[in-house]
Chains A and B, each alone.
Chain A
Amino acid sequence: MTLLEDEVAKALKYSDGVSGFHAILADALSRRRPGSACRENDISFLPLAVCQSLCGEYDLALPAAAAFHLLLAAADVFDDLEDADSADSLAAKYGGGLALNAGAALIFMAEKALSGLRRFGAAEGKIAAIMETLNTFYIRACAGQHLDIAPKSNLNTGDKNNGIMSENEYFEIAEMKSAAQFESACRIGAMLGTEDANIIDKFSAFGRALGTAAQIADDIQGVVEGQDILNRKITLPIIYALDNADTMTKNMIQSGFSSASEENNQVEKIKEALFQCGAVHYAAVRLELCRQQAREILAELGRDGIGVDALNYYVEPILV
């Protein structure tokens, strides 16, 4: 972890000498793990783990890992700005304008961090390919986020689907919004560890499965903790319930998610209803399907002679 922190610090030094600028960036980065610049089990470790599985070394992936760490910190800043519901956010502490500026700076620092691949002997062409890969996936993630947060029809429209996304649309957005980040981390780690396009594609698929699992896990936690219900966020359990629950449950969810409803005790009732109708259970099974897919890809890579044991560590602890 210290090596990754050092790599992140190299990018951060470009903010030195500007009053308050370094402080706000350091604050944004520290939130990824209180008291430390990096968090264990973070997505930013994926390029290291994948690269090491392929060539036995992880050092050459350190600049890529640092780039992901910076991008994830930027994502946290923008996520808080979009949600505008945290009194502890960077925006709440420094103001929206400064937070937005810090988020932008973190993105440019991530690009800068990638140029550090030169120190580890990466060819210019490889660096350019990695930058293109990273930017492509993150533009895709932004597109997914746009679809996710764009205004949706009111749930009480009376339409069959009430204007909310279908399950297929949900998975399309999850792949764009969340899986893209995991996929790019794994793909770039593989690009640094091998020239074999087939192996790189398999690691890409592994990242995609992992990322989708992570999104579903986040949705389940959102129900368990009640936060997604309170914020009227349309997630997989909600979609399942509106498709399959009995009329009384559907009406309760629609009422609770309508803009007119402000009753907080509705949160507990909706949460209980989501468990009782099987919505949470369904999401748990879908999560397990993604984890199975990730395991199968790792098994296939293992048969290709790649040491993937350490990567199982990323699959198994997702939720349950």
Chain B
Amino acid sequence: MKSQALQNLVKSIFSDESVKAEFRKDPKSVIAKFGLNAQEKKAVLSSHSTLGLVTGGSSQLEATLKASNSWMAAPL
């Protein structure tokens, strides 16, 4: 199911440099403003720590994603 709160958070981070800067300094305080549920908060923080969700540039994220093995079979 679509998560509007999560979309609003990501949209805000990637459209407003001040929000991005605040997220870099204190991700939990930014997340707290968007009404995410516990699972969503955990997923954002985990993705951020693993991928450098906002600190990593697109080329860095792309390199990280390319380096990982995707084992799953091709969907039908």
Contacts and interface: CB of A to CB of B under 8 A. Distances in A.
Interface string A273-301: 00111101110111011001100000000
Contacts of B43: 285-286, 288-289, 292
User: Contact residue range for chain B?
Assistant: 35 or more
Given A244-B7, A275-B61, A280-B61, A75 B76 contact: yes
Residue among A41, A79, A275, A277 with the highest chain B CB neighbour number at 10 A:
A275
- Would you call the interface of chain B mostly helix, strand, loop, or mixed? helix
A224 B62 contact: yes
Contact of A221 (B15, B44, B70, B73): B70
Contact of A281 (B3, B14, B40, B74): B14
Interface in B22-62: 39-40, 42-44, 46-47, 50-51, 53-54, 58, 61-62
Contact of A218 (B6, B51, B68, B72): B72
Contact of A278 (B10, B62, B73, B76): B10
22 contacts: A41-B71, A42-B73, A75-B75, A177-B76, A178-B76, A181-B76, A215-B75, A221-B70, A240-B7, A275-B61, A281-B47, A282-B6, A284-B47, A284-B51, A286-B3, A288-B50, A289-B39, A289-B43, A292-B39, A292-B46, A318-B70, A320-B68
Interface of A: 32, 39, 41-44, 72, 75-76, 78-79, 138, 141-142, 144-145, 166-168, 171, 177-178, 181, 214-215, 217-218, 220-221, 224-225, 240, 243-244, 246, 272, 275-278, 280-282, 284-286, 288-289, 292-293, 314, 317-320
